[in-house]
Amino acid sequence: MVIRLEELLEDFLDMTTQSAEHATVPHRLLEDFLGRCVEKLKALAISVMNQWPSLKLRVVDGWIENVRPGYPNDSLHYEGRAVDITTSDRDRSKIGMLARLAVEAGFDWVYYETKAHIHCSVKSESSQGARTGGCFTNEGTVTVESGGRKKLSDVRLGDRVLSYDTGSDKLVYSEVIMFLDRDTTDRKQFLRLGLSGGQVLTVTPQHLVMRNKPNGTDQDVEAVFAAHLNPSDQLLVAESNGTKLVRRTLLSSELVLDTGVIAPLTSVGTIVVDDVVASCYAVIESQSIAHFAFAPLRAIKSVEAGLGAVGRFFASPFSSSPTNATSGLATNAVSDDVNGVHWYPKTLYFLSNHFIPSYLLYDQ
Ligand SMILES: [Zn+2]
């Protein structure tokens, strides 16, 4: 369902194989060749097509497995962290703009390696960092209990928003208890999911979305990575102003670049965004394990009043130390200058890489 990289790139198969049997080159080879840059390269490929509709991104070199003359021994190409690129028309006058797009796409290092191509690379932490990115865009909307809708960028701690109770299979209102991630200026790659009822949900590929288990009954609901959804999957949708829970068929899924990374956590662990039921979690493909992992935080939050400052420290967003936390105590709002990933999910994501079975983790 996710766009295949081959569709975004020019000339790729010609470079990975010397033979004429291009069609038989496995998809995996392509991803291997591009190494750890794949996600950023996809974002860049989309920008290139937006900038020059008749052109594509052309990868000159990706992951080089064997030492090659002319490359320094510590070249990031040997680690799969670098790609050399041009536009498909190989026009040198476009290199400047291409470099700018590469920076925007999130490459950590971009420079003119030769007059004919630019070299882009990612830091070693980047592939790790990408795993924490489960979120919605600024423009996504939620239904609030007091009536009406709110853009996700305007949602604040304490807001009661439409959610879904997995136990009773019912729509409920639930309090936003923290932001797992919040950066209203970040540009990222999202999947835009189109449903048969006209709903459109924009969400990162590694975010969990609720669907009916294939071949199950309406009550058999599971959380799956948006990237793992299949056409004709039945997703859960809120209609009639959040009063009616129905199932709608997934019709389309396309990769887009959009702005804002916002991941509110509600006390029930789910949230209805643009009328589609999604999990608040990402990275771990199990709603129950993810929800369980956050239980300590929810427990602390629920007795927050009794605990006073200690409880509020745990519930306050983006703090890594009690000193920082105190500055956020007075306000219930989140301002744009306190962006970032909450320290708790950060720790959790770190732990998940060590203790959660790998089949449950999002694999790029
Ligand atoms: Zn290079």
Quick one: CA dihedral 137, 269, 198, 240, positive or negative?
negative
Distance of CA 275 to CAs 124, 172, 261, 272, 282, Å? 37, 13, 18, 6, 19
Q: What is the pLDDT of residue 193?
A: 95
Q: Compute, in angstroms, the gap from residue 363 CA to the centroid of ligand 1.
A: 26
Q: What is the pLDDT of residue 21?
A: 37
Average pLDDT, the chain: 74
Q: What is the pLDDT of residue 128?
A: 36
3-state secondary structure of 154: helix
Q: For 65-86, what is the mean pLDDT?
A: 78
Q: For 275-299, what is the mean pLDDT?
A: 70
Do the Cβ atoms of 224 and 208 come closer than 8 Å? yes
Q: Which residue has the higher pLDDT, 153 or 328?
A: 153
Q: Compute, in angstroms, the gap from residue 108 CA to the centroid of ligand 1.
A: 13
Q: Compute, in angstroms, the gap from residue 42 CA to the centroid of ligand 1.
A: 18
Q: To the nearest whole percent, how much of the chain has pLDDT over 90? A: 22
- Which segment of 59-63, 321-325, 337-341 scores lowest on mean pLDDT? 321-325
- Which segment of 105-119, 161-175, 306-320 scores lowest on mean pLDDT? 306-320
Tens-place pLDDT, residues 9-31: 765 544 444 333 333 345 556 66
Q: Compute, in angstroms, the gap from residue 98 CA to the centroid of ligand 1.
A: 15
Name the pLDDT band for 271 (thresholds 50, 70, 90): very high
Q: Compute, in angstroms, the gap from residue 95 CA to the centroid of ligand 1.
A: 14
CA atoms within 13 A on the CB side of 240: 5
Name the pLDDT band for 86 (thresholds 50, 70, 90): very high
Q: Compute, in angstroms, the gap from residue 34 CA to the centroid of ligand 1.
A: 12
Q: Compute, in angstroms, the gap from residue 118 CA to the centroid of ligand 1.
A: 7
Q: Compute, in angstroms, the gap from residue 45 CA to the centroid of ligand 1.
A: 17
Q: Compute, in angstroms, the gap from residue 259 CA to the centroid of ligand 1.
A: 29
pTM of the model: 0.54
Confidence check: pLDDT of 243 > 90: yes
> Chain-centre distance of CA 159, in angstroms?
23
Q: Which residues contact 130 (CB under 8 A, 6 or more apart)?
A: 39, 364
Q: How is 9-63 classified by DSSP, letter by letter?
A: EESHHHHH-SSS-GGGS-HHHHHHHHGGGHHHHHHHHHHHHHHSTT--EEEEE--
Q: How is 346-357 classified by DSSP, letter by letter?
A: HHHHHHHHHHS-
Q: Compute, in angstroms, the gap from residue 111 CA to the centroid of ligand 1.
A: 9
| Structural domains in the chain plus CATH codes | 5-122 (3.30.1380.10), 132-360 (2.170.16.10)
Q: To the nearest whole percent, how much of the chain has pLDDT over 70? A: 64
Q: For 333-354, what is the mean pLDDT?
A: 51
Q: Compute, in angstroms, the gap from residue 81 CA to the centroid of ligand 1.
A: 10
Tens-place pLDDT, residues 300-314: 555 544 444 443 444
Name the pLDDT band for 143 (thresholds 50, 70, 90): very high
Which 3-state string (H, E, C) describes 70-94?
A: CCCCCCHHHHCCEEEEEECCCCHHH
Q: Which residue has the higher pLDDT, 279 or 248?
A: 248
Q: Compute, in angstroms, the gap from residue 102 CA to the centroid of ligand 1.
A: 14
Confidence check: pLDDT of 194 > 60: yes
Q: What is the pLDDT of residue 349?
A: 53
Question: What are the backbone dihedrals phi and psi of residue 69, each rounded to the nearest 5 degrees, phi first?
Answer: -60, 145
Q: Compute, in angstroms, the gap from residue 26 CA to the centroid of ligand 1.
A: 24
Q: Compute, in angstroms, the gap from residue 150 CA to the centroid of ligand 1.
A: 45
Q: How far apart are the first and last CA of the chain?
A: 14
Q: Compute, in angstroms, the gap from residue 331 CA to the centroid of ligand 1.
A: 48
Name the pLDDT band for 235 (thresholds 50, 70, 90): very high
Dist. CA 247–CA 237, nearest whole Å: 6
Do the Cβ atoms of 263 and 136 come closer than 8 Å? yes
